[in-house]
Structure 1
Amino acid sequence: MAQLTDDCFAFDGPLITAADALARILGNLTTIADVEMVPVSQALNRLLAEDVTAPHAVPPYANSAVDGYAVYHADLNADADTILPVVGRVAAGRPLGRPLKRGEAVQIFTGAPMPDGTAETGGPDTVMMLEDCRADDDGTRVVLRPGIKPGANRRLAGDDVAAGSTVLHAGSRLGPSELGMLAACGRTEVLVRRPLSVALFSTGDEVTEPGTPLPPGALYDSNRYAIGAALQSIGCAVEDLGILPDDPARIRATLRNAAARHAAILSSGGMSMGEEDHVRAAVEALGSLNFWRVAIKPGRPVGMGLIKSETGHKAVLIGLPGNPVAAMTTFIAMARPVLLTLAGAAVTEVARFRVIADFGYKKKSGRREFVRARLDGRDEATSLPRAVKHGRSGAGVLSSMVGADGFVELPEDDTHLEPGTTVDFLPFAEVFR
């Protein structure tokens, strides 16, 4: 496993944009997840750790794209029917067994290999669809209509993938299509990254585990469940450390032990300067901590640093805000790309798409805001999806995330949004998948 430098999260500057913050952080990070060889059948959603090249052409031979008759185009009349003898039939997995001569036709089925030709003829090059042919009752001759183009309905060897070409790149996430491509190349095993090991905990005497009685002044822990699910959705292996009380010694011991077993540790709450916010002091005692004052809303400074275990192993610490929506927003904007980089993902950016805002909104200049929205039909003038503001805007209003489809993302320079404006939309379906 690669080691991280002590200054990879170093920052002591003023308020910074999310884009600048990520550029500085990601520029100092490296992949730390180890690799392993796994069966292709067990590689779904894993991150590829090698470039995959095709050892042979896909498909490996020329074949028919339709049911019909394979012929030489040069044998066909340009403006009249052509009658040719039928010398056999070719099905998938059952080739003709001899070269096809000029002046002959062969019945062929979808996916079946095109017959070979002689050295002089080069082989049949065209397939006439069954609907455009008329065979004799005994099947010994076929009538072919005029007008077909040379090479019609024939798929060449390598039409999908050329031999030696790179079909998958390291860092790609392996979905069903990628696994199919590996199989098409004859692969039974593939080199992937091990899932990034992440420990997760919440902190605070007021935070209570769901399913237990709720004392006065307490609230149930939602962050651990939401962030834990978000971590799993990007392929992390998560250990839930539960809720840590406001006990400095216990927090310090838990962090030290977690750093020995995990690549990263995520917390929510306990990172400010209050007397009962002990996570910050524990992290600084065990390693280093920097606060990134990122100009986003909802959100607060995100704590990032390194914790050293007793064995000298370093684990990344990411401290998220305690307010639920702020925690989710900073996870998406900051923690997610950091973790994906450590895990070996080639792409960490979430794909946005354009929508029409169906609401007005005012904001401060210099701050990027993420407005919870749901999609509701399409704009008549542009046919773009229409985004409707969903729920209230507070950083602690978790209900506003339920039923929302994503964030309308308003850039730093904007101060107000007029209904009907085209804006960027960050879909939750792209973030948590």
Structure 2
Amino acid sequence: MGCCDAPGLMPIEEALSKMLSPISPITDTLTLPIQDAIGYVLAQDLRSPIHVPPFDNSAMDGYAVRVADFSQTDRFVIAGKSFAGAPFDQHWPANSTVRIMTGAQIPEGCDAVIMQENATVEGDQVRFNQPNLKPGMNIRPTGDDICQGDTVLAQGAKLTARDIPMIATLGIATVEVYRKPKVAFFSTGDELRPLGTELEAGQIYDSNRYGIKPLIDNFGCEAIDLGIIPDCPETLKATFEQAAQQADLVITSGGVSVGEADYTKDILEQLGQIGFWKLAIKPGKPFAFGSLNSAWFCGLPGNPVSAVLTMYVLVQPLIAKLAGHTQWQAPQSIPAITHSRFKKSPGRTDYQRGIYRIENGQFVVESTGNQSSGAFRSMSLANCFVVLERERGHVEAGETVQIQLFNPTLY
């Protein structure tokens, strides 16, 4: 243990390794219409059954020509027309041209298309002003985008709104995907009240489930909301048992600290196994990981910023592996110059909320203000995390720090 390591706190890198190593991806598959498959992970490579485009076609409105004819004449008879879906398939003699529209099939023998802006129509003939005419000009060849047999999406790719129209161009109507992980979640604590009710002394509204559920949705999972569970050992145990029967992963917020009313650890020891309990991360030190029968378990801290941060940093990669999303990547770190002071004590990796922008080609960042784990306003204002190393102390304006831009799961 280094001089700056907090005693008993596991480093984040070690925690992630311990979390991910025992996880096996879900192997259950579904066959879905492509319009219903967004957010699912492909269970097999997707190969193209056709060329795209399936035939040589025109890149613009104009005239199909043979380049060799230009050595014979400067006037061309219009032999016919080729439209998208209605190709010209007749004989066209030498020194003639075919009127063609964007996307229309190239007539046999054509080796260039001249855009209509470079053509002058004179009765049934056309004259062209096309300098540097070359074979292949303005023609999109067969397979220019995708060749038959190409792997267009690999197994483990998570389907996005950008992928679906591409798949449709291949004529593929259904895809085989892994089922989404089922994630059960609930909040614990007698102090929590549902929205729309009056608060009494010592009570607060349950905000964590409203931060956790959209992340579960954005991670590509099926969310099972079990509500607010009071600090009652019997009720908590029954809820854990119910959750483990329904889900692949159980997530709680609160109840993983060391207070007299925090029963989660005791129940987890009865029903499953604890992997670790405390991490060298700020905010979010009281984060728990373990198993419940056939389900995995992540216990998030009760403070709202801590809950969202640990979901983002720790639970997100776990879910990606569980879902078989092999192409998932952790947020990239980018150096930035600070425009404000960041307070920090050595001992834990600190994820502070920041606002970045680019000035003269350089990333700069400033604090969102109050960095308390209970102050969610600073999270709402942020567009990045300022990641301060475990051994680092206070950061003054003008120093270089590493920032992680929020990925789409936080938008």
User: TM-score over 0.5 for the alignment?
Assistant: yes
Given the two structures, how large is their TM-score scaled by the length of structure 1?
0.86
Change (3 A) 1:104 1:18: farther
> Which of 42, 58, 61 in structure 1 is aligned with 2:36?
42
Partner amino acid, structure 2, of 1:82: D
Identity %: 36
> Which of 281, 290, 295 in structure 2 is aligned with 1:315?
295
Listed one character per residue, the Cα deviations across residues 163-192 of structure 1 (whole Å, up to 9, x for unaligned) are 100001222222222001110111111112
> How far 1:264 sits from its partner (Å)?
1.0
Equivalent residue, structure 2, for 1:124? 110
> Which of 419, 425, 428 in structure 1 is aligned with 2:397?
419
Question: Secondary structure at 2:244's aligned position in 1?
Answer: helix
Is 2:370 the partner of 1:392? yes
Cα distance in structure 2, aligned partners of 1:182 and 1:85: 41
Equivalent residue, structure 2, for 1:405? 383
> Which of 259, 283, 295 in structure 2 is aligned with 1:274?
259
Q: Does structure 2 retain, via aligned residues, the 8 Å contact 1:83–1:144?
A: no
Equivalent residue, structure 2, for 1:104? 96
Cα distance in structure 2, aligned partners of 1:20 and 1:269: 23
Aligned residue pairs, count = 404
Change (3 A) 1:107 1:64: same
Is 2:203 the partner of 1:211? no
Cα distance in structure 1, aligned partners of 2:295 and 2:373: 28
> Which of 141, 148, 172 in structure 1 is aligned with 2:126?
141
Cα distance in structure 2, aligned partners of 1:298 and 1:64: 58
Mapping for residues 1-16 of structure 1, pairs under 5 Å:
15-16=9-10
> Which of 52, 55, 64 in structure 2 is aligned with 1:70?
64
Is 2:161 the partner of 1:176? yes
> How far 1:432 sits from its partner (Å)?
2.8
Equivalent residue, structure 2, for 1:358? 339
Cα RMSD between the aligned structures? 2.3
> How far 1:107 sits from its partner (Å)?
1.3
Cα distance in structure 1, aligned partners of 2:234 and 2:53: 63
Question: Secondary structure at 1:225's aligned position in 2?
Answer: helix
> Which of 172, 187, 204 in structure 2 is aligned with 1:202?
187
Question: Secondary structure at 2:381's aligned position in 1?
Answer: coil
Mapping for residues 182-193 of structure 1, pairs under 5 Å:
182-193=167-178
Equivalent residue, structure 2, for 1:5? none
Question: Secondary structure at 1:198's aligned position in 2?
Answer: strand
Change (3 A) 1:128 1:197: same
Is 2:400 the partner of 1:432? no
Indicate the larger mover: 93-102 or 327-336: 93-102
> How far 1:293 sits from its partner (Å)?
3.6
Is 2:107 the partner of 1:115? yes
Partner amino acid, structure 2, of 1:324: P
Given the two structures, how large is their TM-score scaled by the length of structure 2?
0.91
Change (3 A) 1:207 1:33: farther
Change (3 A) 1:320 1:124: same
Cα distance in structure 1, aligned partners of 2:11 and 2:342: 20
Equivalent residue, structure 2, for 1:302? 287
> How far 1:99 sits from its partner (Å)?
5.3
Partner amino acid, structure 1, of 2:182: S
Equivalent residue, structure 2, for 1:95? 87
Cα distance in structure 2, aligned partners of 1:233 and 1:14: 33
- Structure 1 regions of 5+ residues with no counterpart? 1-12, 117-122, 309-313
Listed one character per residue, the Cα deviations across residues 128-187 of structure 1 (whole Å, up to 9, x for unaligned) are 111112121x23333343323331211111111111000012222222220011101111
Change (3 A) 1:66 1:361: same
- Structure 2 regions of 5+ residues with no counterpart? 1-6
Cα distance in structure 2, aligned partners of 1:86 and 1:431: 56
Change (3 A) 1:430 1:408: farther
